């Protein structure tokens, strides 16, 4: 970008940082921005496209830009949580803990509910400048099959999930990302299993050597994002973390596509 477009880019960033535009707020129309900022429409669209690619803005409808994070649905009120009267451990080791909880949902008779506690996990999707994602083709003995997965692993005690993501991708693939961005934290089996999963996206990575975690490492490849929908349809993508991360990336790319902003 030239000096003028850079100034406009910085101005809109300042609006966002100062809270002049809150999550969910819609930007003024392109015509209004052109007049207010003294920039041509083509140059303005270049600035807006960069802000969308960075996640600072999102596209809604035809040439409509909003600050991410806003929602229209209201949080329901007046609902009661389950009461927990007690819990006891049935089995516990370094990998899994099984409890029985004495629970009472609203309006329902008390009963014992199994609760499985697993580790906190971090997973990372690293993207390069050729629209490819770093993946591993590996065998999983529980489903007895091969499939594509993203790097990831258990968050060690005292370690941040972001540091885990960086450590795991280097150990499993030999590539080190420059930085990682948190996307979402979710529970893969929220009805019975407690295992927080943190999803990260990295843009760019440096090859630093061979994988050091030989148990986890498989065939490593930069897979074109264009192949992901077909791999998903074939059932070749394994693990909820892999699916959540890649679906997020595909959804973000759809929002950023020229057809979404014209």
Span 100-114, pLDDT tens digits: 999 999 999 999 999
> Is 77 part of any domain?
no
**First and final CA of the chain: distance in angstroms?**
21
Q: Which of 94, 117, 140 is the last residue of a domain?
A: 117
What domain range is 99 assigned to?
83-117
Asked whether residue 7 falls in the same domain as residue 88, the answer is no
Residues 89 and 191 in one domain: no
Whether residue 89 is found in the same domain as residue 203: no
Structure tokens at 205: 């990575």
Structure tokens at 240: 């909820």
Same domain, 184 and 255: yes
Our count of domains for the chain comes to 3
10 Å Cβ neighbour count for 48? 22
Same domain assignment for residues 246 and 128: yes
Q: Is 137 helix (H, G, I), strand (E, B) or coil?
A: strand
Which tens digits make up the pLDDT trace of 174-216? 999 988 999 999 999 999 999 999 999 999 899 999 988 777 6
Considering the domain architecture, whether residues 31 and 65 belong to the same structural domain is answered as yes
Count Cβ neighbours within 10 Å for each residue of 171-206 and write b for 16 or more, e otherwise: bbbbbbbeebeebeeeeeeeeeeebebbbbbbbebe
Task: Give residue-wise pLDDT tens across range 200-258.
Answer: 999 989 999 998 877 766 799 999 999 999 999 999 999 999 999 999 999 877 655 54
């Amino acid at each position: 970008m030239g000096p003028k477009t850079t100034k406009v880019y910085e101005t809109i960033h300042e609006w966002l940082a100062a809270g002049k535009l809150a999550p969910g707020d819609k930007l003024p129309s392109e015509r209004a921005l052109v007049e207010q900022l003294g920039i041509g429409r083509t140059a303005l669209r270049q600035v807006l496209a960069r802000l969308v690619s960075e996640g600072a803005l999102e596209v809604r409808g035809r040439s409509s830009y909003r600050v991410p994070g806003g929602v229209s649905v209201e949080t329901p009120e007046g609902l009661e949580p389950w009461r927990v009267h007690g819990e006891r451990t049935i089995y516990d080791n370094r990998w899994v803990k099984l409890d029985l909880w004495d629970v009472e949902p609203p309006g329902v008779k008390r009963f014992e509910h199994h609760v499985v506690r697993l580790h906190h996990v971090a997973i990372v999707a690293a993207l390069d400048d050729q629209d490819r994602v770093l993946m591993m083709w590996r065998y999983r003995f529980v489903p007895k099959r091969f499939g594509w997965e993203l790097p990831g692993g258990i968050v060690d005690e005292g370690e941040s999930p972001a540091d885990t993501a960086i450590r795991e991708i280097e150990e499993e693939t030999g590539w080190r990302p420059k930085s990682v961005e948190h996307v979402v934290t979710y529970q893969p089996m929220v009805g019975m299993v407690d295992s927080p999963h943190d999803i990260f996206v990295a843009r760019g990575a440096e090859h630093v050597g061979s994988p050091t975690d030989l148990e986890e490492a498989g065939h490593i490849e930069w897979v074109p994002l264009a192949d992901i929908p077909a791999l998903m349809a074939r059932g070749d993508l394994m693990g909820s973390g892999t699916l959540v991360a890649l679906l997020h990336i595909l959804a973000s790319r759809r929002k950023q596509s020229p057809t979404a902003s014209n």
